[in-house]
Amino acid sequence: MTRCWFCTRPAKAATRPSSTSTPARRDTDEFFRDRFYGELWVGRRPSLGETTAQLGLETAHIADLEKALAELDPSHTRVLRGYDQTVDGIVGAADEGQRDDELASALSELRLVKDDWEIGQLRNAIAATVDGFCDVVRAMPSDRGFSERLIDGVFGLRARHDGNAVGYGNIAATGAHATTLHWTQNDGTVDPKDMLLLDAGVENHNFYTADVTRTMPISGRYSDTQRRVYDLVYAAQQAGIEAVKPGAPFKAAHEAAMKVIAEGLEDWGILPVSAEESLQEDCGLHRRWTLHGTSHSLGLDVHDCSHARAEAYTKGDLAVGHVLTVEPGLYFQIDDLTVPAELRGIGVRIEDDILVTARPAPRTCRPVCRVRPRTWRPGWPSSEPPGSDCRAESEMFVTHPRRTC
Ligand SMILES: [Mn+2]
């Protein structure tokens, strides 16, 4: 990384000449002795001049940063805080931070609608992610124990090879680990009779990330109980995706998915009240087993646009170009005595990345992966992908089969 800083300033103040020097080259001590930035240690890096040309922004040596920031008038400066402690510390916040909050919100809201280039980037990240899921299925033995690290590592290899890195820490959760929402330790021993919940996304070379989750049987075949939970979450996700359309509230997918979940739990005799009552704002007993929201914006960050004002995002309406996840889940903790013993320790989440389009777009309707595990058994994949019912007011980047991965 070049040691430069960027700052927008009124044009009249932008008098500092662009430096085209290469201060870290061989004629400096930095070249030889700086193990963080010296080129002898870390290799060639762009000069300030090269960086200025590449970005179209004025740059300066980082040694000048403190003085330049100290000269700024906080009442005429806004800082996107939380990214650089030095900048945060030197530039005071005016108006109790309100001006900075406005900047953060504005930047987030600019990212809500993705343009064609960004959509291409997300498709690129998702395609690599699909390949990563297939890699994992290919690598998993289905007839003996192995470590979750295998899953973590195989997906990580795809992410590093096809993209920049993983967009967030892989969640490679097997068995009861799947009931831990952010199981990133990934150090368990896999029992082939369990399911794998894999929540992972490749961050591509331009830093756009996918966010996909599949819950699949390690052996290639669900038990009846695993299938029952999977099918309910799948139905909830389909209902959520169907609710995604321009002009619909952002929360529509969540509400549609939760209705399916609550009704399913009522049918199973688990919910202590009716689904209708549970779905009331002041009740929500089903949330004991759903734990999280159904959707978030996706883009450069896995939780993109997180500083957008609620009225523009979570309490706003969907628009063409929004990209969001739809990812309901059901989690029965291993020690949850309020559910039948057979459900305890089962966690299922299914997640896809959805682009809001003006007209119904044909969904791809293909599994994330249809490869055989290393020890193939009949029943994998266990059903064909859905056919005629595959249209919605949204475009699925990634779809899945009814019951496999
Ligand atoms: Mn997600």
pLDDT in tens, 78-93: 999 999 998 999 998 8
- Closest by alpha carbon to 48, among 1, 116, 109, 95? 1
Among 8-12, 18-22, 140-144, 179-183, the least confident range: 8-12
pLDDT in tens, 276-312: 999 999 999 999 999 999 999 999 999 999 999 999 9
At residue 94, the pLDDT reads 81
Cα(338) to ligand 1 centroid in Å equals 27
Phi, psi of 16, deg, nearest 5: -65, 125
Distant-in-sequence, close-in-space partners of 104: CB < 8 Å, separation ≥ 6 = 80, 81, 307
- Closest by alpha carbon to 102, among 324, 385, 309, 285? 309
75/267: higher pLDDT? 267
Cα(240) to ligand 1 centroid in Å equals 14
For residues 141 and 145, give the distance between their C-alpha atoms in angstroms, rounded to a whole number.
8
Instruction: Kindly tell me if the per-residue pLDDT of 18 is higher than 70.
Output: no
Check the CA dihedral 67-70-71-77 and report its sign.
Answer: positive
289-292's contacts with Cβ under 8 Å and 24+ in sequence apart are 289/261, 289/265, 289/330, 289/331, 289/332, 289/339, 290/258, 290/261, 290/328, 290/329, 290/330, 290/331, 291/181, 291/329, 291/331, 292/181, 292/329
Residue with tokens 């089969």: 401
At residue 299, the pLDDT reads 97
Residues flanking ion ligand 1, Cβ below 5 Å: 211, 325
Instruction: Kindly tell me if the per-residue pLDDT of 370 is higher than 60.
Output: no
pLDDT in tens, 247-256: 999 999 999 9
For residue 316, name the pLDDT band (cuts at 50, 70, 90).
very high
Cα(169) to ligand 1 centroid in Å equals 12
Cα(302) to ligand 1 centroid in Å equals 7
For residues 121 and 207, give the distance between their C-alpha atoms in angstroms, rounded to a whole number.
9
CA distances to 112, 137, 175, 295 from 286, rounded to whole Å, are: 30, 32, 22, 17
Residue with tokens 């979940």: 261
For residues 122 and 79, give the distance between their C-alpha atoms in angstroms, rounded to a whole number.
28
For residue 2, name the pLDDT band (cuts at 50, 70, 90).
very low
Q: Are 367 and 396 contacting, i.e. CB atoms less than 8 angstroms apart? A: no
Q: Are 330 and 233 contacting, i.e. CB atoms less than 8 angstroms apart? A: yes
pTM of structure: 0.84
Domains plus CATH for the chain? 1-71 (no CATH), 76-110 (no CATH), 116-396 (3.90.230.10)
Cα(216) to ligand 1 centroid in Å equals 17
